[in-house]
Structure formats: structure tokens, C-alpha cells
Amino acid sequence: MALIYTNENIEQQVVNALRALGHDVLTSLEAGNANRSIADKDVLTFAVSQNRILIIHNRVHFVRLHNHRAAPHAGIVVCSVDLDYRGHAQRIHDALQSGLADQLVRVSRP
């Protein structure tokens, strides 16, 4: 399955559900990057350095970063907040099935 990096705003329940679906998920907390006011470009740079797909809620900044990127990335998933954690994780999982190399996809609530 996919190598994923989530920022601190992705709910732990979504992380747990993605792991249950077989994904290797590294959170910003586990990486020592939580609550450090890391710039968005540096969040993406870290995900790239780990060859992980970035999953975030911050659409505006990361769409801009994707459109003006200097280097390829493993993929970016921008998503809305969804309290149906399992359903949300399943929609992310489904989006990952087509491969995201250097792509940005949006996953929204139904």
C-alpha cells in the first residue's frame, strides 16, 4: 500500500483507519514536526524527502505549492474535514488506488 505523511490536523481516527486499510502512515507528531509552526513548503519538502504522499486539510496553500513546485512529489491529497472517519479514510484509500506520483487530488465529504 501507500507511504503517507499526515500533518497535525488530520484526525488520529483517520490515521488509524488508513493503517487498518494497510497503509504506512507517518504523522507529523511521530516525525517530531507537530506544533512547530513549520512552513507549508517545508511540510511538503519533508514529505518529498520521505517519498510519502502528503495528506492535509490546507487546500489553498498546498494547491498553490503543487502548481508552483520545483521538484516532483509522491502525491498530495487535500481533503475537507469529515467526522465520518472510516468513510473519510476509505475515500482517501480509493483516491490512492490510481497512483498519485506528482499529482494533487481532492477528497471531499459526500
Which grid coordinates are listed for 75?
Answer: 502525491
What's the mean per-residue pLDDT of the chain? Answer: 93
The pair phi, psi for residue 92, each rounded to 5°, is -65, -45
Give tens-digit pLDDT for 27-76.
Answer: 999 999 988 989 999 999 999 999 999 999 988 788 888 988 778 999 99
Domain 3-107 class in CATH: alpha beta
How far CA 78 is from CA of 53, 58, 103, in Å, comes to 11, 7, 11
Are the C-beta atoms of 66 and 81 separated by less than 8 Å?
Answer: no
Quick one: pLDDT at residue 46?
96
Domain ranges of the chain: 3-107
Quick one: pLDDT at residue 45?
93
Cα of first residue to Cα of last residue in the chain, in angstroms, is 24
Say what the pTM is.
Answer: 0.93
